[in-house]
């Protein structure tokens, strides 16, 4: 095999014993593996990741098709879903006025609400979490309340917030906020409490001020915990927005589903479900990626 | 009589937990000269770390005072920089950043930006870590982390350098290498150093004096051994040196014959 013999010829072990000429031979170049071999390895690696889910999805669709194909089936088979919802799938940007808009507008409306509600939750949650993490008394006083409140289902807040805000839009934002804030508070406070004493000692020895400790030690040391909370929070807020939109109406992927149900467009519902799942997945990955970037990969450890 | 550089005066320490109160240290009197390298040795639980932390200002002694250049020590500060046992580098900062955070704080007013940068690099070069300045702590070995810890402490230009079992977590070869580095730096800068160790060879090799502590609770200074070996010391030559062997035997004798860990504590 030519590649192997070439490798032996340039290896440093054979180059060293010739003192006079060693300067020319010492440059060590790893033998180039044939491009084909590398491409094959790459393809195998990618196939290993992509193929299993594809097979499972294919099988599920097949079984679904079988189960729902007979006449009188209550749910449409995949082929019918695609055929029925074809307009909705191929043109996400249509806008016929009112709430009759394409998938892109529906989803971006929902994402906008999540963006606002979740941002508030992130800022307030991290601030409260830091406060609680630093004070034993605040922890003892507030933690039981949080532990109870965080189990309240998102929709249970909606009537109360409608009563308080009297408008549906701020109510939806409030539901997002109140749903996603608990894991952010709790994780942040745990992170602050878990800052190693060593870091505090370092801060004490170099005499960092309170503000410098917060900015240079507390916050960066807590980043992995904060992002764990943010990831759980963004998932919860995406769960909550769909339910909240079903009740408050208007444009948004949640009400789209409700509207589709009311007009018996079952296929549209199924397509919307797939979109919601994908968007939720992407949101989670987005927060994880930001967390990875912000913590310089330390969070992954 | 001139004022002692560093003086422990009747230091005693009690820890209270609820109704229980344990005396960890009592009657510690010690004077350390400028430029002296002093090791504290003793069995686990004899209060070595407590004493170091009192000097570092991280703990307040129950009785007695520590005086550094005549001034009472009562809070942590960069004039008593600490090299921690587990390096305590901040994982989100680079090697450079870990030293710079101390330099920027300590010399933020007295040095310009360029001077501070040069000073960080100078200290990294001192511990041979300049080439790894952009690495993060999780990307470098335990020995390298400890080098950065030492650079951070040295960069504060402390009046006393405190080392809390700095090489305890390292393998024997890395440890020997770092001991040589510390001796070299000590010879070059003439720092005053107080080091805690478990290792008899390390204590004898590095120190001008070895302070041996009795067993706790209520530990105190049992004996102080002066190591009269010329510097620079080389571990290979010392291996067969009679004076080295005598000092080593004296410390071992103290630790294992006269102040053996009582059976109940060892269990």
β-partners of residue B38 are B194, B209
Tally of residues, chain B:
267
Averaged pLDDT of chain B = 89
β-partners of residue A278 are none
* Region of residue B245 (phi > 0: left; psi between -120 and 50: alpha; otherwise: beta): alpha
Kindly write down the DSSP assignment for every residue of B124-181, as one continuous string: HHHTT-GGGTT--GGGS-HHHHHHHHHHHHHHT--SEEEEESTTTTS-HHHHHHHHHH
- CA nearest B47: which of B211, B244, B263, B157? B211
CB A267 within 8 A of CB A84: yes
Rounded CA gap, A182 and A150, in Å? 6
Per-residue model confidence as pLDDT tens digits over A255-276: 999 999 999 889 999 999 999 9
A-interface mutation test, from B82, B85, B90, most A Cβ less than 10 A away: B90
CB A167 within 8 A of CB A109: no
pLDDT at A15 over 60: no
Radius of gyration of chain B (CA): 19
Chain A positions contacting chain B at CB under 8 Å are 196, 198-199, 201-202, 204-208, 212, 216-217, 220-221, 223, 295-298, 301
Note whether B156 contacts A: Cβ–Cβ < 8 A: yes
Cβ–Cβ below 8 Å for B82 and A205: yes
CB A220 within 8 A of CB B92: yes
Residue of B nearest to A201 (CA): B58
Averaged pLDDT of chain A = 85
Angle in degrees, CA A42, A46, A52, rounded to 5? 150
DSSP state of B258: I
Mean pLDDT for A173-192 is 93
pLDDT score for A33: 67
Task: Name B258's Cβ contacts closer than 8 Å, sequence gap at least 6.
Answer: B222
pLDDT score for A41: 87
Q: What percent of chain B has pLDDT above 70?
A: 97
Helix (H, G, I), strand (E, B) or coil at A152: coil
DSSP state of A214: I
B-interface mutation test, from A205, A220, A224, A301, most B Cβ less than 10 A away: A205
Rounded CA gap, A43 and B167, in Å? 47
CB B15 within 8 A of CB B24: yes
Burial of B262 (0-12, 13-18, 19+ CB in 10 A): exposed
Mean pLDDT for A115-129 is 94
Note whether B106 contacts A: Cβ–Cβ < 8 A: yes
Rounded CA gap, B70 and B58, in Å? 19
Per-residue model confidence as pLDDT tens digits over B175-192: 898 899 899 889 988 889
* Residue B117 token pair: 């940068």
Q: What percent of chain B has pLDDT above 90?
A: 59
B262 pLDDT band, cuts 50/70/90, is low
Cβ–Cβ below 8 Å for B105 and A208: yes
Note whether B101 contacts A: Cβ–Cβ < 8 A: yes
A-interface mutation test, from B58, B92, B99, B123, most A Cβ less than 10 A away: B92
Kindly write down the DSSP assignment for every residue of chain A, as one continuous string: -HHHHHHHHH-HHHHTT-TTTHHHH----PPPPPHHHHHHHHHHHHHHHHHHHHHHHHHHHHHHHHHHHSTT-SS--HHHHHHHTHHHHH-TT-B-STT-B-HHHHHHHHHHHHHHHHHHHHHHHHHHHHHHHH-HHHHHHHHHHHHHHTTS-HHHHHHHHHHHH-SHHHHHHHHHHHHHHHHHHHHHHHHHHTS-HHHHHHHHHTT--HHHHIIIIIHHHHHHHHHHHHHHHHHHHHHHHHHHHHHH-SSSHHHHHHHHHHTT-HHHHHHHHHHHHHHHHHHHHHHHHHHHHHTTT-TT-
Residue of B nearest to A220 (CA): B92
Cβ–Cβ below 8 Å for B156 and A206: yes
Per-residue model confidence as pLDDT tens digits over B120-150: 999 999 888 999 999 999 999 988 999 999 9
* Residue A62 token pair: 């097949």
Rounded CA gap, A41 and B9, in Å? 71
Rounded CA gap, A11 and B106, in Å? 50
Mean pLDDT for B97-106 is 94
What b/e sequence results for A15-28 when a residue is b if at least 16 CB atoms lie within 10 Å of its CB, and e otherwise? beeeeeeeeeeeee
β-partners of residue B21 are B16
DSSP state of B196: E
Per-residue model confidence as pLDDT tens digits over A230-259: 999 999 999 998 888 888 888 889 899 999
Integer angstrom CA distances of residue A208 from A131, A140, B60, B76, B103:
19, 28, 19, 11, 12
* Residue B94 token pair: 């680079």
Q: What are the chain A neighbours of B91 within 8 Å (beta carbons)?
A: 298
Q: What are the chain B neighbours of A224 within 8 Å (beta carbons)?
A: none
CB B145 within 8 A of CB B132: no
pLDDT at A5 over 80: no
Distance, in angstroms, between B131 CA and closest chain A CA? 20
């Amino acid at each position: 095999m030519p590649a192997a013999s070439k490798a032996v010829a340039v290896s440093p072990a054979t180059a060293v014993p010739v003192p006079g000429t060693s300067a020319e031979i010492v440059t060590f170049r790893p033998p180039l593996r044939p491009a084909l071999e590398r491409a094959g390895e790459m393809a195998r690696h990618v196939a290993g990741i992509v193929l299993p889910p594809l097979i499972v999805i294919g099988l599920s669709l097949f079984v679904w098709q079988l189960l729902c194909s007979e006449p009188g089936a209550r749910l449409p088979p995949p082929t019918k879903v695609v055929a029925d919802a074809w307009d909705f799938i191929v043109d996400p940007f249509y806008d016929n006025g009112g709430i009759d808009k394409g998938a892109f507008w529906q989803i971006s409306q929902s994402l906008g609400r999540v963006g606002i509600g979740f941002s508030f939750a992130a800022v307030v949650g991290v601030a409260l979490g830091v406060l609680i993490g630093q004070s034993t008394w605040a922890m003892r006083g507030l933690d039981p309340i949080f532990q109870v409140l965080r189990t309240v289902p998102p929709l249970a807040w909606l009537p109360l917030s409608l009563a308080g805000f009297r408008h549906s839009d701020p109510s939806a934002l409030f539901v997002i906020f109140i749903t996603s804030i608990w894991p952010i508070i709790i994780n942040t406070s745990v992170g602050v409490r878990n800052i190693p004493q060593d870091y505090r000692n370092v801060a004490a020895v170099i005499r960092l001020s309170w503000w410098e400790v917060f900015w240079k030690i507390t916050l960066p040391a807590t980043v992995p915990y904060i992002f764990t909370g943010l990831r759980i929070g963004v998932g919860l807020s995406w769960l909550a927005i769909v339910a909240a939109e079903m009740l408050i109406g208007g444009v948004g992927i949640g009400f789209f589903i409700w509207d589709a149900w009311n007009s018996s467009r079952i296929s549209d519902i199924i397509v919307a479900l797939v979109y919601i799942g994908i968007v939720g997945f992407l949101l989670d990955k987005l927060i994880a990626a930001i967390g990875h970037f912000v913590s310089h990969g330390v969070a992954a450890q | 009589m001139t004022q002692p550089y560093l003086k422990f005066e009747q230091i005693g320490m009690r820890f209270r937990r609820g109704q229980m109160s344990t005396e960890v240290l009592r009657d510690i009197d010690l004077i350390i000269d400028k430029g002296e390298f002093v090791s504290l040795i003793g069995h686990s639980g004899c209060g070595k770390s407590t004493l170091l932390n009192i000097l570092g200002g991280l703990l307040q002694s129950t009785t007695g005072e520590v005086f550094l250049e005549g001034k009472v020590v009562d809070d942590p500060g960069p004039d008593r920089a600490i090299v921690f046992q587990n390096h305590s580098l901040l994982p989100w900062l680079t090697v450079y950043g870990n030293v710079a955070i101390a330099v920027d704080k300590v010399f933020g007013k007295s040095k310009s930006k360029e001077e501070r940068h040069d000073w960080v690099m100078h200290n990294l070069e001192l511990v041979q870590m300049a080439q790894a300045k952009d690495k993060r702590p999780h990307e470098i070995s335990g020995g390298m982390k400890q080098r950065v810890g030492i650079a951070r402490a040295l960069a504060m230009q402390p009046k006393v350098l405190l080392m809390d079992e700095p090489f305890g977590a390292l393998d024997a070869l890395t440890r020997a290498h770092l001991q040589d580095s510390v001796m070299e730096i000590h010879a070059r800068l003439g720092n005053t150093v107080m080091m805690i160790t478990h290792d008899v060879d390390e204590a004898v090799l590095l120190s001008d004096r070895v302070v041996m502590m009795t067993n706790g609770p209520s530990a105190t200074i049992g004996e102080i051994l002066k190591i009269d070996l010329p510097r620079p010391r080389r571990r290979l030559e010392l291996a067969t040196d009679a004076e080295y062997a005598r000092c080593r035997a004296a410390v071992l004798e103290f630790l294992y014959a006269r102040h053996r860990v009582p059976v109940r504590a060892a269990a």
